[in-house]
Structure 1
């Protein structure tokens, strides 16, 4: 197997396994779907989004987003509020804020455990490589909100610049 093919294959296997680890903890922590979990995380940093905008940020059509919000509302994690004109805004309930916090904790634990096998220098190298890959992924996806829908934003920007946010700012410049 060619070195580039092997690297791509290793990345694919790692990406899938990491996603499985992170998503399993998320869905258990909130008792909701992966898109519902993403919606709670998004609403924790961007309160009172329309159903359509929330759907866009978590990668759902308007009708799928409406069904997801129905489910989250039935679980008393979000509530709808009338906005300007016909717009309906979605906001977290106190239980939704608590669930969002549990989600980020559940997401971070397996990821912290995984990178703990690396020494500090290796973690720094990995962080640089991941930043480079995320910048490239932003060029492909074109939406920081969608790409970072499950991010712990404070964890990403504490003492550093978010590579996805920087890629978006660079694109807008």
Structure 2
């Protein structure tokens, strides 16, 4: 019998190292914070979002989201304009779209290199395990938008069904 505590510890160490690797690439190329990187990716998938909704999707309060947007706007990456009623709509500028694409590529490259160390059977097994874990995590987080805030959605859904989106459609707890 495998030691589940050891497996959990290995998962924790791997998760932290993978997070650091992915975020270093993403924030480094974009020159923004982790929440700023997430905001650019979210806006690349949802072209026009309100400040409060964007904050919810990246895990920030409305006031923290507004401060983060001030920084992105000062760099010419996003633009705000009046929305419905008192709301403010946020969109990517052309520079913001380019930065979001560069950010996703920089996030994905070290992850692809890491996955390339696996043979085909290991790769398939890992993909299945990750899909299972992500569906479970959706039940904990309760928001596909928040869980997938830095996802390359095209890569996730090109040849398969996104496990997080599937869990959301099935109403996983």
The two structures have a TM-score, normalised by structure 1, of 0.97
Residues 117-150 of structure 1: CA deviation (Å, up to 9, x unaligned): 1001110000000000000000000000000000
Matches within 5 A, 1:46-85: 46-85=46-85
Query: 3-state DSSP class of the match of 1:76?
Result: coil
Post-superposition Cα deviations, 1:93-121, rounded to whole Å, max 9, x if no partner, equal: 00000000001100100000101110011
SS at match of 1:171: coil
Aligned residues: 171
Structure 1 stretches lacking a partner, 5+ long: none
Q: CA deviation at 1:30?
A: 0.7
1:12 aligns with 2:18: no
Aligned positions of 1:88-99 closer than 5 A: 88-99=88-99
Inter-partner Cα distance in structure 2 for 1:49 and 1:30: 20
The CA deviation at 1:29 is 1.1
C-alpha distance in 1, partners of 2:149/2:155? Answer: 14
Shift of 1:42: 0.3
Structure 2: segments with no counterpart, 5+ residues: none
Provide the rounded CA distance (Å) in 1 between the counterparts of 2:83 and 2:51. Answer: 11
Q: Does 1:168 align with 2:158?
A: no
Q: In the alignment, which residue of structure 2 is the partner of 1:134?
A: 134
Task: Give the Cα separation in 1 of the matches to 2:140 and 2:87.
Answer: 30
CA RMSD between the two structures: 0.9
**Deviation (angstroms), 1:25:** 0.4
Q: Which residue of 2 aligns with 1:114?
A: 114
The runs of at least 4 aligned residues of structure 1 exceeding 3 Å deviation read: none
